[in-house]
A and B are shown apart, each in its own frame.
Chain A
Amino acid sequence: MIKHLRSAGDLDAATATLILDTAAEMAALSGREVKKLPALRGRTVVNLFYEDSTRTRISFEAAAKRLSADVINFSAKGSSVSKGESLKDTALTLQAMGADAVVIRHSASGAPHRLSNWVDGSVVNAGDGTHEHPTQALLDAYTMRSRLGRLDGLKVAVVGDVLHSRVARSNVLLLSTLGAEVTLVGPPTLIPLDVVAALSKTTKVSYDLDSVLPDSDVVMMLRVQTERMQDSFFPSAREYSRRYGLDVTRMRKLPEHAIVMHPGPMNRGMEIAPEVADSPRSTIVEQVANGVSVRMAVLYLLLGGK
Chain B
Amino acid sequence: MAYLIKGVSILGAEPTDLYISDGVISAPVEGAEVIDATGLVALPGLVDVHTHLREPGREDAETVETGSRAAALGGYTAVCAMANTSPVADTAGVVEQVWRLGREAGLVDVQPIGAVTVGLAGKQMAELGAMATSAANVRIFSDDGFCVADPKLMRRALEYVKAFDGVIAQHAEEPRLTEGAQMHEGEVSTRLGLTGWPAVAEEAIIARDVLLAEHVGSRLHVCHVSTAGSVEVLRQAKARGIRVTAEVTPHHLLLTDELAAGYDPVFKVNPPLRTRTDVEALRQALLDGVIDVVATDHAPHAVQDKECEWAHARPGMLGLETALPIVLSVFGPRWDLIADRMSIAPARIAGLEGHGGDLTQAGTPANLTLVDPAAQRIVDPAELASRSRNTPYAGMTLPGRIVATFLRGEATVLDGKAVK
Do A and B pair up? The answer is yes
Interface residues of A (CB under 8 A from B): 86-88, 106, 108-111, 113-114, 128-132, 166, 169, 192, 194-195, 197-199
Cβ-defined contact, A199 with B190, below 8 A: yes
User: Does residue B192 face the partner (Cβ distance < 8 Å to A)?
Assistant: yes
| CB <8 Å contact, B187 and A129 | no
Determine whether the beta carbon of B192 is less than 8 Å from that of A109.
Answer: yes
Taking the closest CB of chain B, its distance from the CB of A125, in whole angstroms, is 11
Given contacts A109-B263, A113-B263, contact A132 B308 (CB under 8 A): no
For B309, the closest partner residue in chain A by CB is A108
Q: Which residue of A lies closest to B260 (CB)?
A: A110
- Pairs A-B, 5 closest by C-beta atoms: A110-B263, A131-B193, A108-B309, A198-B190, A109-B193
Q: Which residues of chain B have C-beta atoms less than 8 A from A113's C-beta? A: 262-263
- Name the contact of A194 in the complex, choosing from B186, B193, B262, B263 (C-beta under 8 A): B186
Q: Is B311 within 8 A of A129, CB to CB?
A: yes
Is the C-beta of B277 less than 8 angstroms from some C-beta in chain A? no
Contact A129–B190 (Cβ < 8 Å): no
Of all chain B residues, the one with the shortest Cβ separation from A129 is B193
Q: How far, in angstroms, from A109 to B188 measured CA to CA in the complex? A: 13
Q: In the complex the two chains form, what is the Cα distance from A88 to B308 in whole Å? A: 7
Establish whether residues B192 and A131, one from each chain, have CB atoms under 8 Å apart when the complex forms.
Answer: yes
B194 CB-CB contact with A under 8 Å: yes
Are A110's CB and B191's CB within 8 A?
A: no
10 extra A-B contacts, CB within 8 A, seeds A88-B307, A131-B193, A199-B191: A87-B309, A108-B310, A108-B311, A109-B193, A110-B309, A110-B310, A114-B310, A195-B190, A198-B190, A199-B190
User: Does any Cβ of A come within 8 Å of B156's Cβ?
Assistant: no
Which residues of chain A are within 8 angstroms of B182 by Cβ–Cβ distance? 109
User: With A86-B304, A109-B194, A129-B193 as given contacts, are A197 and B187 in contact (CB-CB < 8 Å)?
Assistant: yes
15 of the cross-chain contacts (CB-CB < 8 Å) are: A86-B307, A88-B307, A108-B310, A109-B192, A110-B193, A110-B309, A111-B263, A114-B263, A114-B309, A114-B310, A131-B192, A192-B196, A194-B186, A197-B187, A199-B191
Using a Cβ cutoff of 8 Å, how many contacts connect chains A and B? 63
Query: Which chain B residue lies CB-closest to A128?
Result: B193
Chain A residues, CB < 8 A from B195: 130
In the complex, which residues of chain B have a beta carbon less than 8 angstroms from the beta carbon of A131? 192-194
A192 to B196, CA, bound (A): 10
CA of A198 to CA of B194, assembled, Å: 12
Chain B residues with CB under 8 A of A169? 191, 193
Tell me whether B123 is interfacial, beta carbon within 8 Å: no
Expressed in whole angstroms, the minimum distance between the Cβ of B188 and any Cβ of chain A is 7
Complex Cα distance, B196 from A88, in Å, reads 25
Task: Chain B residues near A114: list those with CB within 8 A.
Answer: 263-264, 308-310
Q: List the B side residues contacting A192 at CB < 8 Å.
A: 190, 196
CA A87 to CA B182, docked complex, whole Å: 18
Indicate if B334 sits at the interface (CB-CB under 8 A): no
The smallest C-beta distance from B278 to any residue of chain A, in angstroms, reads 15
**Residues from chain A with Cβ under 8 Å of B208 in the complex:** none
**Which residues from chain B contact A110 at a C-beta distance below 8 Å?**
192-194, 263, 309-311
Inter-chain contacts of A132 with B (CB < 8 A): 193
A108 to B191, CA, bound (A): 14
| Residues of A contacting B192 in the complex (Cβ-Cβ under 8 angstroms) | 109-110, 131
B201 CB to nearest chain A CB (Å):
15
Bound: A87/B304 CA distance, A: 10
Question: Please, which residue of chain B has its CB at the minimum distance from the CB of A164?
Answer: B193
Query: In the complex, A128 Cα to B190 Cα: how many Å?
Result: 14
Q: Name the B residues within 8 Å of A128 (CB-CB).
A: 193
Looking at the assembled complex, report how far the CB atom of A91 sits from the nearest CB atom of chain B, in whole angstroms.
10
Closest-CB distance, A208 to chain B (whole angstroms): 22
B215 in the interface, Cβ–Cβ < 8 Å? no
B308 engages A87 (CB within 8 Å): yes
A107 to B310, CA, bound (A): 11
